Chains A and B, each alone.
Chain A
C-alpha cells in the first residue's frame, strides 16, 4: 500500500444565480448605505497612463437572446504590459490602474461597458509576447462554473498572428470569436466584444 497524497479538493463551483448583484454590486440594485461604492466599476483615473478605450458588448445564450443578469469581470495589464498584482514579478505596474473591473449586464438591454485603457503586451511562458488582451470571467444564472475567455483587438493584426495562445486554437474559424472590432463613440475608441455562450458563433472558452 502506498502513502496517501493528502491534498484538499477545490471547493466545487455553483452558479452565481440571478441575484449576484446583491453581493457584487449592491448599490446598483439599490442596496445603498452598506458600502460606499461598488468595487470594480471604475478602472481609469486622470493619472492612469495609456490610451483610453471603451470595451462593450453583450452576452448571448444558445437562442441568441442577450443575458440581462450576467456579471462580467475583466483583468488586464497596464499600458506597459504589467499587472497590478503582488504575483507580478517583472516590475511595478502603473499604481493608478488596478487592472480589474466588474460590471453587470444591463437589466433591459443586456449591454455591459468598461471604460479602461488598451493593455500592453505580456510574455507567454517561453518569453514570446502574447498579443494585447483582456481576460474575461463571466458568471450568471444558468452558468455552473465561471467562464474564462480573452478579448483581443482587431487593430492588432500582426500581434494576433504571432500570439502563442491564439496559435493553440486548432479550429482557426473560431479565432475571430475572440477578436473585438474597433469603432469609435464620442471620439473614444470603442471595441465591441460580444460573447456567445453556445451555438454557431460560440466564443472560445479556456480551462
Chain B
C-alpha cells in the first residue's frame, strides 16, 4: 500500500533506501505516545496562505479552499491533530534558498501553513493552487500540482508525510514519485476532489482531502482493559 523504499524510477531513492528489512516492533509506550500541540502555538493567519505572507496585496493565482477530515482506519475522527502543509506558488516556484527554477517568486506568497483539527477531526485552509514543477530526475520530468502534508496523530507511530494531488490532473499518472505507490487505489486516495458544493461563489474553488492515519483502537493498557 505504502511506497517501498527502493523505487529506482525515482532516482534519489536508490541510494537513500535501506537494503536490510525493517525490524518489526510491536508498539511500545515509546511509539503509542506522541506530542500534542495546543492552539496557543498558532496564529490567526496560519491557515490562510493568501494572507499570511502578503506584503503588497494578494498572491497571483487560482484561489482555492482545501478542507477535509483526519480519520483513523475505523473512520473515527482524530481531533487536535496538527496538520502542516507547504507548496509552490501558482507558477511552480518554491520559496527555498536551494530552489533554482526560473519561474519567479510571488512577493505575496510564502507557501507554508498549519492548522489543528477540531473535535470532528476537520481542518481547512485557504491558498493558491500550486503550479506544476520541473525537476532533475529524467530529462523531462514534471511534478503534478501538489501540496505537501505533514500530520501528527496521537501517537508517534502515526506520524505521516504525504502529498495531495488535484482531481483531473493528467500529470499525476506520469510522475515517478506518484508511481512509487504500487496500488492505483492508493494513489487515488491522495487525489483531492473538486467540490463545487463547498466552492465560494465569485471567490474560491474548493477541494476536499481526507487523511487516514494508522490505527484502529487503543492498546489494552493495564488500567483500561476494555480498550475502545
Contacts and interface: CB of A to CB of B under 8 A. Distances in A.
Contacts, number: 258
B33 A143 contact: no
Given A16-B148, A19-B94, A88-B33, A140 B16 contact: yes
A137 B156 contact: yes
10 contacts: A6-B75, A9-B1, A12-B1, A16-B148, A23-B150, A88-B33, A142-B15, A143-B16, A146-B160, A202-B18
Chain B contact residues: over half helix, strand or loop, or mixed?
Answer: loop
Interface string B174-212: 000110110001110110000000000000000000011
A202 B84 CA distance: 30
For the complex of A and B, the 3 pairs showing the least CB-CB separation, nearest first, are A142-B12, A23-B86, A142-B16
A107 B74 CA distance: 41
A204 B150 CA distance: 24
B25 A20 contact: no
Interface of A: 6-24, 26, 29-31, 33-36, 39, 61-63, 65, 67, 69, 73, 75, 77, 83-90, 98-100, 107, 122-125, 130, 133, 135, 137, 139-148, 150, 165, 168-169, 174, 197-199, 202-207
Interface residues of B, number: 89
Interface in B131-157: 148, 150, 154-157
Contacts of B185: 9
A18 B99 CA distance: 9
Nearest to B17: A198
Interface in B86-135: 86-87, 94-99, 110-114
A22 B186 contact: no
Given A34-B43, A202-B19, A207-B24, 5 more contacts: A16-B148, A75-B30, A107-B97, A141-B16, A207-B25
Contacts of B25: 165, 168, 206-207
A137 B155 CA distance: 13
Contact of B15 (A30, A174, A198): A198
A175 B32 CA distance: 23
Contacts of A133: 30
A62 B16 contact: yes
A12 to B, nearest CB: 4
Contact of B22 (A75, A99, A207): A207
A138 B126 CA distance: 29
A86 B86 CA distance: 28
Contact of A98 (B35, B75, B180, B212): B35
Nearest to A139: B161
Nearest to A107: B98
Interface of B: 1-5, 7, 10-20, 22-26, 28-37, 41-43, 45-46, 52-53, 71-75, 84-87, 94-99, 110-114, 148, 150, 154-157, 159-163, 177-178, 180-181, 185-187, 189-190, 211-214, 216, 218, 221-224
A10 B30 contact: no
Nearest to B213: A10
Contacts of B5: 143-145
Contacts of A10: 1-2, 73, 160, 212-214
- Which one of B20, B30, B156, B177 has the greatest number of beta carbons of chain A within 10 Å? B30
A9 B52 contact: no
Contacts of B12: 141-142
A72 B89 CA distance: 26
A171 to B, nearest CB: 8
Nearest to B159: A137
B49 to A, nearest CB: 9
A11 B74 contact: no
Nearest to B163: A14
A12 B18 contact: no
A34 B214 contact: no
Given A11-B160, A14-B180, A31-B111, A143 B13 contact: yes
A18 B86 CA distance: 12
A24 B213 contact: no
A61 B18 CA distance: 9
